[in-house]
Structure 1
Amino acid sequence: MDLRAILTDDHGALSGVPKQSMKDFVVQKIATFIATGILDLGDPLPSERELAAALSVSRETVRGAILILSTKGILSVTQGTRTVVASTEVGELAVQSARYRDISGYSLDDVHEARLLIEGQVARAAAVRVEAATLGTLAKSIEAQEAAIDDPVRFLICDREFHTTIYRAGGNAALADIAADLYSYLLDHRRRAVAQPSSIATSIADHRAILAELEARDPDAAARAFAVHETRIYTTTKQLLTKSSRKR
């Protein structure tokens, strides 16, 4: 399958909405990173080359998307300096931004249980249905993650792409959307968690294990690998929240 046919948005290739241009796709992706807290006000964006690698698109596409977002006042582009987030008011540019806000109302334990159930099902389906081209995309995503091992924000951008690519590969639009919503939970805290020593390297190792089981077409093993990874995310996030509450 042509990569451009699946990279329309987080759920467009499954739910039958009209295809977007690749530039619109990147606009939507960057807006979603802002809406979910991966990128915050004043944060510098990764370079065009880094974003292109993370999103599997060309640098020209990234450049065009940044220009669109800068004309809307969401990004600030100054010659000779890094492009930064100028506003977090992305409106409807982000996919399902209202749902991202709503998901924050749930407890960490509830979200953890839901992710185990839904991601397990998605992983099983993906192990059966994933195409060779998608496996290649996931492998390249891991390469981009390794290049971001000292950059928590850039790593989370790659991390989100890795997860949502697998969600779509499961072939169920409803489950893919729900899984993506649950992934967005407390991403501002995840930024702090992945900044801890060895955290990114551990996540990359988890991702390699997940990819290996998808390549082996083993549904149960893929679900177990996802569960190990999700439980690690739950544990580190809970530890971070506990530390934060003690400081108050």
Structure 2
Amino acid sequence: MKLAPIQKKRIYQYIIEQIKASIENGELLPGDKLPSERELADKLSVSRSAVREAFSVLDSAGLVRIMQGIGVFLKEDENEELITRMNDILNPHGVNLVELLEVRQGIEGQAAYLAAIRRSEADLQKIKTAYNHLEQAVAAQQVAAEEDYAFHISVVKASQNSMLLQAVKFLSDKFLQGVHQSRSESLKIPGKSQMVLAEHVEILNAIAEQDPEKAQQAMWQHLQNVKLRYLK
């Protein structure tokens, strides 16, 4: 008899479940403003940091808009679409991070190779800007999933291959969920975020030097390291 260990549910998942239930029973509609961080923390008897994590996960998955100083709003998608995508987040097997990283190694390794050959100065500047934003987010001890994704998408755009870009965008929801998952884990381990930054610098430098083999290997190895850190 093959048994699997019971997965312990994290608090942010419980919060997302409550939001999903409110959508299902019609209390929340697409485009509605969610209760504030403090309100949700009080009503659900959880910490405000747990609510922030839930909002961050929903934001990374493209399910909410966070407007600073105003509030958090559900995206204006169909109810069924919102619920389906929330189920993906809540299902611990919804995103197989290892399989996703293996797909990314193929797509983004080739993209980095081509970017090193084809990138313009404008492309290089966009990659540098994306890296600077990632560096600032890491310094602020943020999960930085959006900044990480922006760096990788800037490399893919620099490849000048529209099919590679379409492939990444097609998988963007899964990519963001996977990035959030891996970066959340990195934050828990001292020094890991700086290690991840150093790997991004290697990719950036190889593209700047227009060394395609080095760029491809740097990208492949970075994603391999993400996979190994996750498996550990």
- TM-score category, normalised to shorter length: 0.5 to 0.7
Amino acid at match of 2:150: E
Match of 1:115 in 2: 104
Deviation at 1:141, TM superposition (A): 2.3
Match of 2:129 in 1: 140
Could you tell me how far apart the structure 2 residues matched to 1:76 and 1:235 are?
35
SS at 2:144 equivalent: helix
CA contact (8 A) 1:43 1:85 kept: no
Deviation at 1:191, TM superposition (A): 3.9
**2:77 aligned with 1:91, yes or no?**
yes
Question: Superposition pairs for residues 21-32 of structure 1, below 5 Å?
Answer: none
Deviates more, 1:216-225 or 1:165-174: 165-174
CA contact (8 A) 1:153 1:191 kept: no
Among 159, 162, 168, the alignment partner of 1:170 is 159
**2:116 aligned with 1:127, yes or no?**
yes
| 1:16-63 alpha-carbon deviations (Å, 9 max, x no partner) | xxxxxxxxxxxxxxxxxxxxxxx864459xxxxxxxxxxxxxxxxxxx
| 1:156-206 alpha-carbon deviations (Å, 9 max, x no partner) | 222111110111111222212323426335234224223132222112111
Larger radius of gyration: 2
Amino acid at match of 1:131: S
Could you tell me how far apart the structure 1 residues matched to 2:140 and 2:107 are?
29
**2:184 aligned with 1:192, yes or no?**
yes
Match of 2:28 in 1: none
Match of 2:203 in 1: 210
Amino acid at match of 2:210: R
CA contact (8 A) 2:115 2:160 kept: yes
Could you tell me how far apart the structure 1 residues matched to 2:138 and 2:96 are?
29
How many residues align? The count is 166
Could you tell me how far apart the structure 1 residues matched to 2:167 and 2:53 are?
23
Could you tell me how far apart the structure 2 residues matched to 1:155 and 1:76 are?
17
Could you tell me how far apart the structure 1 residues matched to 2:100 and 2:108 are?
11
Gaps of 5+ in 2: 1-51, 58-63, 79-83
| 1:206-233 alpha-carbon deviations (Å, 9 max, x no partner) | 1111111101111111000001110111
Gaps of 5+ in 1: 1-38, 45-72, 240-248
Could you tell me how far apart the structure 2 residues matched to 1:205 and 1:156 are?
16
Among 220, 225, 230, the alignment partner of 2:218 is 225
SS at 1:237 equivalent: helix
Could you tell me how far apart the structure 1 residues matched to 2:72 and 2:230 are?
25
Could you tell me how far apart the structure 2 residues matched to 1:106 and 1:41 are?
17
What TM-score do you get using the length of structure 2 for normalisation? 0.58
Match of 1:179 in 2: 168
| 1:95-127 alpha-carbon deviations (Å, 9 max, x no partner) | xx97xx69x746333223222221111111111
Cα distance change on mapping 1:166 and 1:159 into 2, 3 Å:
same
What TM-score do you get using the length of structure 1 for normalisation? 0.55
Amino acid at match of 1:85: V
Amino acid at match of 2:209: A
Cα distance change on mapping 1:76 and 1:172 into 2, 3 Å:
closer
